[in-house]
Structures are given as structure tokens and as C-alpha cells.
Amino acid sequence: MTLFNLEKNSYVPYSHKSEVAVVESKNGTWYPGVRIENISFPLTISAIQNALFCCLSEAEYPTTVLIKNPLKQKENLQYWQKQYGFTIADIRECNDIKMASVVRPVDDIPATLQKLLDDALVDESDFPVAALVETDAGFIPGVNIETPDWSRGLCAERIALAKAITYGLTDFKSLHISTRDGEYSSPCGACRQVMIEHVPHHPVHLYHADGSQSRHYTSDLLPYSFQSSSLQNKSK
């Protein structure tokens, strides 16, 4: 996967401004991230956050961030750099990098989700959530990642979807979500808004803390949703 090909995986139907970042982990593994916009603009995930959370959700720690024009993204970068203390380099100085695989072999979905819960970074809530998005290429995992600034954390569902989109694995089949605690597992409103854009009519399997399961469809979880056709600049 070349850096050029990666950038093309950006999901930017509203701005048409693609963006890519790559993170090197302590173990020398590389994780990519692309910009993923949302019809509800504030739910947009930057390439930097996406790449960092791709790395962190794989139980790795970021040491270097490669982006185009680091100076242009100074403000966004500063927050994350303070948080994780990585080095910044210009992506254009790098040639081909071999990205980590994020597709997981899964025999037993509930058991895999249970194990994944241990990778959630939940210093703020102590409420781990795990997700698996099924694509034609296999299952891509996600866990929730929190930061001291709550508004910069991301839910497990959105991290799993963002990883799949970054890797160009967008032939989605189903989504699976599990929590360890709480009355029942249920994607939050922000996740439903993102899900309606990428997995609108797909089955969503919820694995509840008491061992029971339920099956839903995204469109039922977010009826009367905000449509991208309402935005005039979608096809600009």
C-alpha cells in the first residue's frame, strides 16, 4: 500500500480535501489514517487522530507521526504531541512504508470481542467497549480510546469503521459491539450518525454484559436521519 494510494482512501465528500497521516509505533510498525468527514461536520475525524487511534487501538504506542505540511496543522498536532510525545516528520520525505495489517482472524465473535475489551484505553470512564466491523476482507477491530480532553476521544465503533475506511476495506457486511458493563450494549448517538453514512442498512449485532445478544439494523437505530442530500456543497 503506497502513501499515494492511502490518501485516496480519504472520505471527503464535503470538502474534497483529502488528508493522510502515518504513525510509527514503538515496535517499528506503521499505522495509517485518512481524513473521514461526516454529514454532521463536527464528527469528522482528522487523519492525525485516525492514525494515532489506529495505532493505540492495536495496543501499540505512537513514537513518530508523518504528515504533509506539519506546519499547516500545528494546532491539531500540538495537542496530540503533548499527549503522546511523538516526533513529527514530513511524509513527503518518506518512500514506501509497509503498513500493519488490521484484519483479524475471527472464529468466535463474542470471544474475540471479550478479549478486545482489554485493549480499550479508558482512563476517564473505566467503561471499555469493543467493536468488530465485518468486511469482505475479514474483521477489523476497534476499542474506545479516551484522552483527558473528552471531546477528542473516540468510540470503539467509530475507530473500527475509520480503520476499515483507511485501509480501503469498505465492502461492509455487519457490525458487532460489546461492552463489559452496563444494562445493555448500544451505540451512542454520534456513532449512529457515522454508522448511517457507512453501514446504513447493515445488521448491527449487540453483545450485552449479561451474555445475551440482539440484532438490529442501523436504519432502525437512527430513524428520520439527517441526509447528505440536504447539503448543497456535497458535489462541489
Which whole-number Å values give the CA distances from 74 to 16, 67, 71, 153, in the listed order? Answer: 21, 11, 5, 19
Q: How far apart are CA 85 and CA 27, in angstroms?
A: 16
Position among 125, 212, 227, 235 found at the interface with ligand THU (CB under 6 A):
125
- Asked if 132 is part of the footprint of ligand THU (rule: CB under 6 A), the reply reads no
Q: In the complex, what is the shortest distance from the CB of residue 131 to ligand THU, in angstroms, rounded to a whole number? A: 7
Residue 188 near ligand THU by CB under 6 A: yes
193 near ligand THU, rule: CB under 6 A: no
Residue 228, H or E segment: none
Catalytic member of 7, 146, 157, 197: 157
- Least separation in angstroms between CB 145 and ligand THU: 7
60 lies in the site for ligand THU, by CB under 6 A: no
- Known catalytic residue at 37: no
When computed from its CA atoms, the radius of gyration of the chain, rounded to whole angstroms, is 17
Contact status: 204 vs ligand THU (CB under 6 A): no
Nearest to 55 by CA among 45, 67, 64, 43: 64
Residue among 41, 127, 184, 217 that touches ligand THU (CB under 6 A): 127
Strand partners, 215: 205
What is the CA angle 38-42-43, rounded to 5? 50
Residues that bind ligand THU (CB under 6 A): 122, 125, 127, 129, 144, 146, 153, 155-157, 187-188, 191
The residues annotated as belonging to the active site are 157
